[in-house]
Amino acid sequence: MSAADLTALLPLLVLSGTVVLLMLAIAFFRHRTLATAIVLAGLTVALLAILPASRVAPQEVTGLLRIDGYALFYVGLLLVAALVVAVLSHGYLGGQSGPREEFGLLLLLATLGSAVLAASTHFASFFLGLEILSVSLYGLIAYLRHRDRSLEAGVKYLILAAASSAFLLFGMALVYADQGTLAFQKLVVSRPNLSGESLSPLFLAGLGLMTVSLAFKLAIVPFHLWAADVYEGAAAPVTAFVATVSKGGVFALLVRFLTGIGHEAYRPIFIAITALAVASMLAGNLLALLQQNVKRLLAYSSIAHLGYLLVAFLASGSLALTASTFYLVGYIVTTLAAFGVVTVLSTPEGDADDLEAYRGLFWQRPGLALVLALSLFSLAGMPLTAGFVGKIYLVAAGAGSALWLLVIVLAVGSAVGLYYYLRWIVVMYQQPDSVSEPSSGPALPLAGGAVLGLLLLVLVWLGVYPAPLLDLIETVVASLT
């Protein structure tokens, strides 16, 4: 490998080195604050390492990874999200019993797996990144092993991930049998004629199976089995990680792979993804209507939002890529803020996941109520929030490609979603019960409060002045078209 290759890989190498350093530190001296400091330092240095990596980009590394503007943008986004989760989890784990230092190891490994996915251009790196992510998530989801629901969620995610890997490997085998290559770029070269009639059944079947695998990872309908159970059983900061970093890495890979091979020309795959998008937008919102558990509500809400993302993904042109990337950024910021409030309100006895636990929150902790309310408004797509601008771009991308069915379903789903988001907000602003007034919850840690404040500022900034981020996104997605 050349010096340029190593420079391009610097963010991934820093993450890997931090894992080794933390493992050695835990072996010699167990201390939760020290472990958190190493995690935060490693993630920060990896984030700073994007700057020298960008100077040599685009760089093909060993035929497995492509470090370009697109990959570095997503790596940076995932690292920032992981930093937020690491800060929130420090206070959350403070009152938990048992060893807590290994949490950082699993968090770093899962972030590394997601970053590898964002840069993958080969089925080998695709599978390795996905497995690094998945195996780490098994441990993260079941980390609070003294909770029965946490163990149950870990086992369920293990079964889901095993099924996903089986579909993925079988699909890869069929594509390799037809194409004789595992490199994304060579698949495109070997398919100069993209008319549906000339496609090999093996190739189509392989693409279909891989699409099913990624649908499992993104938990979109009808492959959302146990997704809400996993969200409910996992610790609140882990749920935030699954909803943002995990799905962000998988979606970055999906966009790079299927955009690269021209998925719109493969009519059967296009129709299948359209059906997945419609089902996810409708079922996700309708199932969320029935929930009294806020983590389950956000789980079904995330299914609907992934359906919204697929609208832009199915559209064509640079606007579609810009719309999907901007919406994902807004979704990640908003989801981290919402789960951040759930995290800081949780206690060692259990997470603050019952809707009734938020009754009268505004009258006791107005700052947290403001953060949560604006997060829910953003998820609903209300003006002056990141979610509003994101949905405008999704609609524009869908309408520009004449995907009218998807645009109509998106509008209907958003209207349904507005109801259950407002229901949560109304509960927060109701007067507390004078007979049994709820407790104000644990004290807000300084670091957690600072992170929530920054997320709130970013959420509003993206809704009021999104131009700088849109300009950056247009630059980085240009490498994919």
- Digit-coded pLDDT (tens) for 357-369: 888 888 888 889 9
pLDDT band at 447, cuts 50/70/90?
Answer: confident
The CA-based angle 41-44-47, given to 5 degrees, is: 150
Q: What's residue 438's pLDDT?
A: 41
Beta-bridge partner residues of 61: 65
Number of domains in the chain: 2
Q: Compute the distance between CA of residue 336 and CA of residue 339 in angstroms, rounded to an integer.
A: 5
**Could you give the percent of the chain with pLDDT greater than 70?**
92
Are residues 412 and 365 both part of a single domain? yes
Average confidence (pLDDT) over 100-108: 89
Are residues 256 and 328 both part of a single domain? no
Q: Of the candidates 233, 262, 291, which is a domain's last residue?
A: 262
Does the pLDDT of residue 314 top 60, yes or no? yes
| Averaged pLDDT of the chain | 87
Q: What's residue 219's pLDDT?
A: 85
Q: Of the candidates 223, 240, 262, which is a domain's last residue?
A: 262
Average confidence (pLDDT) over 162-190: 84
For 256-290, b/e burial (b = at least 16 CB within 10 A) is bbbbebebbebeebeebbbebbbbbbbbbbebbee
Are residues 377 and 480 both part of a single domain? yes
Are residues 103 and 150 both part of a single domain? yes
Q: What's residue 192's pLDDT?
A: 46
Least confident of 200-204, 339-343, 393-397: 200-204
Domain residues for the domain of 319 are 266-481
Are residues 292 and 173 both part of a single domain? no
Are residues 243 and 270 both part of a single domain? no
Q: What's residue 437's pLDDT?
A: 43
Are residues 221 and 182 both part of a single domain? yes
Q: What's residue 265's pLDDT?
A: 55
Tokens 């050349």 label which residue?
A: 2
Q: Of the candidates 230, 247, 262, which is a domain's last residue?
A: 262
